[in-house]
Structure 1
């Protein structure tokens, strides 16, 4: 499925979400800061081949070590430091 536009901040309300794979879609813009805080069960995220830009929200990194397993960013347009 080829979707485009910005990602809704309401995805952050899906607290049961374990995996988020939106690879190959044309979503763009920045990611909402609150996503990772509310998505406490999230283990796998795939943003490969997407048009997201900017930096990954810093709030994601404080919690990513808590059960987070995989993050795919290849062929995306993120910028900033990878820690």
Structure 2
């Protein structure tokens, strides 16, 4: 519904009235917000690991001795002997 509303060239009719779908969408959104409030559900941001924690995990996931060097797949590497 939101996508359709956003794609409309105007939300107001020629008689300067708001499209009924916009009014209905507002009523649905307000009702949902009221129900969530009654249930006591508050929006909670997800816990995001720090940059250092992410780097530590990425380092631990890599096997020893790998990393750094050429990460190109072997079949994609240029072989000088094959080009001539």
TM-score range, shorter chain: under 0.3
What is the TM-score normalised by the length of structure 1?
A: 0.20
> Which of the two has greater strand per residue?
1
Tell me which structure has the larger Cα radius of gyration: 2
Task: Give the TM-score taking structure 2 as reference length.
Answer: 0.20
Structure with greater contact order relative to length (CA < 8 Å, sep ≥ 6):
1
